A = this chain, B = another copy of it.
Amino acid sequence: MRNREFRDAIYEQFARISKALASPKRLELLDLLCQGERSVEVLAKSTGLSVANASQHLHTLRAARLIEAEKRGLFVVYHLADRQVCDLLSAIRLLAEARLADIEQITRQFMKSHPNLEPVDRETLRERVLSGAVTLLDVRPKEEYLAGHIPGALCVPLEELEERLDGLPRDQEIVAYCRGPYCVLAVEAVERLKARGFEAHRMEDGIVEWRSLGLPVEEAVSAAESQHRNRGDA
């Protein structure tokens, strides 16, 4: 039956996409690439992979045409081939959160082992920010802050946190946020702040959730935006 051959061929192609996604490490790599372009070395480091292994995973992602590589001098910089890839990742994340009870349990356990990280929810935060009773920190890399952040938030990338401690209020509550519930930048930031005697909390949701709820997002405009587009990682 010719129909069967056709269908087999077509679904084989669809499966190229899903097979590329069928690995935790590759999902993590894609998640990172959703935030912006990265070199192999950086990707390997952030995911805990060996460079050779990361390179191979990137190769399979590339074979599925989910990402593209660009050689820049000594580095190979990878970026998503299509914005739709982010959508696909969120769809997976959403489904996983909705259907897999294990995820909730894992996060709960993680929070338990980090007992100082009492998360702050959106509603509470909005109130406190509006009343000026709180200092809000965006601890993601600067480019991501420029691409969109919660109004009133300060741009304090995690790497710069130590240098900027002097500028932060010791008499006021500090709330840190990052990309979302599975991003640990804010967790790290809050731990460091607490260790220094600040009163810090973490907002559970990140910019993605904030945005998708239709809440206001401030964007840095043209100049910064195009700079981000052209140079990527600074």
Q: Choose from B10, B81, B92, B102 the contact partner of A99 (Cβ within 8 Å).
A: B81
Within 8 A of B (CB), among A46-90: 48, 65-66, 81-82, 84-85, 87-88
Within 8 A of B (CB), among A135-177: none
Binds B, one of A23-31, A195-203, A204-212, A225-233: A23-31
Q: Which 6 A-B pairs have the closest CB atoms?
A: A22-B22, A11-B24, A18-B21, A15-B24, A65-B99, A19-B22
Residues of chain B lying within 8 A (CB to CB) of residue A10? 103, 106-107, 182
A78 to chain B, nearest CB (A): 15
Q: Is A213 an interface residue (CB 8 A)?
A: no
Chain A, interface SS category: helix
A10-B106, A24-B11, A99-B66 given; A48·B4 CB < 8 A: yes
Residues of chain B lying within 8 A (CB to CB) of residue A13? 96, 100, 102-103, 106
* Interface size class of chain A, counting residues whose CB lies under 8 Å from the partner chain: 35 or more
Residues of chain B lying within 8 A (CB to CB) of residue A93? 14
Q: Is A187 an interface residue (CB 8 A)?
A: yes
- Flag if A92 contacts B24 (CB, 8 Å): no
Residues of chain B lying within 8 A (CB to CB) of residue A65? 99-100
CA A187 to CA B93, docked complex, whole Å: 36
Q: Is A42 an interface residue (CB 8 A)?
A: no
